[in-house]
Structure 1
Amino acid sequence: MLDIKWIRENPEKLDEALARRGAPPAAADLIKLDEARREHLKRLQELQNRRNEASREIGKAKATKDETLAERLIAEIAEIKAEIQDGEETERRLDGSLEDALARIPNLPFDDVPVGKDEADNVELRRVGERPDFAFKPREHYELGEAMGLMDFDQAAKISGSRFTILKGALARLERALGQFMLDLHTSEHGYQEVAVPLLVRDEALFGTSQLPKFAEDQFHTTEGRWLIPTAEVPLTNLARERIIDVAELPMRVTALTPCFRSEAGSAGRDTRGMLRQHQFNKVEMVSITTSDTSVDEHERMTGAAEEVLKRLGLAYRVVTLCTGDMGFGARKTYDIEVWLPGQGAYREISSCSVCGDFQARRMNARYRAEGEKAAQFVHTLNGSGVAVGRALIAVMENYQNEDGSITVPPVLRPYMGGIDQIGGPG
């Protein structure tokens, strides 16, 4: 959420930033809502002052035995009290209108974020690793998995509907191995603390990380009012909510491996084959809570941690900077890491690392107090996939496939597979 004080002082900058995102201007409407709220608060303060003044005048009237004046003042105070009570309800309504309007305004991109409409305008930063050169036509992951009898979409559809997958045997173990490998890497080498988090959260948690109110249709809502998490970013980032953290505790780096749940409301017809785009998938998430002067460097560090997963797995990938039109609602800058999938002959997103500034912190009232400072400041938050486990499984299957349909297990995963070095194949 943006600071209304900053908006009042910088209306042109807000509208310019929104224009870079392809969004309509909003400063004038927001300032109008704020002015109405401020005028109302001024009126309430005047009423409070008059009530206090009248109370003092009653004492003077009684001291001089002017009962007529005293009764008139008592009646005036009663009227003021009723007006204040009505005014407090109006205040809540005006506060709510402004907060709702602010909650629907996206974060402002950094100046170095490329301007564009969609993914076609993203800017490639680097390519890493060698793409495999097969002597045969590589197959897609679902062709490999179904041929081995270890990936079942039909039975999953009978149980749960479309966009679900059943993994069996060695493929189920390989997915588990990938998640454990990522957690071990991030906790032992990258300084993240593993956290086991709830998979069901309240409205306030999703609001804090800006999935609500704008993206409610993308979430799964339970009948009792909770939400299934779309990513562990939600509970991990909310670890800082309604807190004042000592600066000595920062940066706070946390990670979790969880199932994630997304309705994919806007993806009809996209990636309907296989397990690239699922309603339920596993992901290792990284979250950093930092100070305002370290968050940009932390963004580079986090992206490097996600890249290291792919380097250890021996997978070719590229890093792109998302343009303003493709960037997430709460981000100021985002790097996507796209892994090479030979079966598709394309790079596909496997991680997204974003720096959000204090946008989420304002929604969560998450602050820190620097040494020697009396006033607390809002923390800066970052989140990144470290990485999507299901997509990593797809990438391993397609990049390590053999002509006979078997899959070679990457060396770094073999300790997690009980020494198994190959899945499937003849016999």
Structure 2
Amino acid sequence: MHSAIRATLLFLGPLYALVPQAQAYELYRDEGTHLNADLTVVYGLLSSKHNYIGRSGSFRWQEGFAKYGFSGETDRIGAGSVYGSLALISSATWGDGDPGGYSIGKERRTSFEDAYIGWRSGSLLPALGQDGIDVSFGRQPIKIGRGFLINDDAANPGRGMGLEYDRGGAYYLGARHSFANTAVLRLGGKEGLHGSAMWIKSKNPALSKTEMALATLEYTAAEGTVGMTHIRGLNVDKQFTDAKTIERKDIKMYGLWGEGNAGIPNAKFGFDVALQDKKSGNEVAWSAQAGYTFADFPWKPEISYRYSYYPKNWDGFFTGGYLDDGWTLGEVAGNYVRGSFASNLAVHAISLRARPYENLTVGALFYNYRTVANRAVLNADANAVEVYLDWAVTRHISVSPLFGLYKPRKDQGNGGSQSSSSTNVYTQLVLSANF
């Protein structure tokens, strides 16, 4: 698979963060034990005036998924508490498929998503704090720090990349997040000094079925959290690698990050710095963000700015996310444009949000993309603007429309990615429900 395609996939699955997390239907509860039935259903209608696979005409397609299963916890099995989840996902894409060519509109799949069990120590070891030991195994999502290096296993290509890469459609919605195999040990709870050690294996062909070991050390106080991460690549499936991802087998990564308000009410700060030590040489990527909420103003407006820098040979690894809370670089650029991804790119991003009502958020985002090197090979320079609503219609149902404009400097005829250098008009309407 072409390295540009693989790198673009690192930003898949952005909208899932918008979906209200399941309130769950309580099947059983008594003192110390509960069992829930969980259901999330999401459906999206999407369109793009231009595409990124050299075809003429616009694209219109639909995506959907349902995640359903059970979760629970009990403290009646010895000391501490046992918890776990078992869930499946059914997903599909209809219509033309997406404009990046990752799905073709014929994807359908039902598969296990979550299947894990864990144990928390509760108050058993006071010296380590509440739940000072947390051990879990199985299929589960894993996020490290702010998600700059690992934010779940969320690449969800379809048949457009070949049958061997198909994860069942819903490319944009990105329903599937869980790593196939994990063993996780967390120590120290969630306050003060705490850390973790993990073994993680992906079975996602789009991410080279990477296997890794990692450790984290964090400190959390009222002002925020700072943390360090060390990742060691253990193995990859060579069938699904390219010149960049083949180096994951022995890669070493070191990350330093932080987030919080630094003691300033209504402020939000965040930063990430990461080093990749691999055979072809060392690479350093970084990002910094600052924001403020005007809590005393009508609608409580928020403004934030983020700058992200990825050098030419950076491996985006398992990064991902959405809007202010993640690493997707815009709906069009971060999902469909081959070249606007976590490599050889510098991005300025401004976000404006307000809440006219408790159940309604309105927002706008502005992006400026600049290619760091080798513009003659692939020029990702562009500007984009997006406006959106997040409307919680009821406790269980939400509606999220978005309208975006994306203007690249170059088209495919002279070193760019888009079929035309004119402005792309992108729209989507996503409906979600949790029960």
TM (norm. structure 2) is 0.25
Of structures 1 and 2, the larger Rg is shown by: 1
Greater share of residues in strand: 2
Determine which structure has the larger helix proportion and give its number: 1
Higher relative contact order (CA 8 A, sep 6+): 1
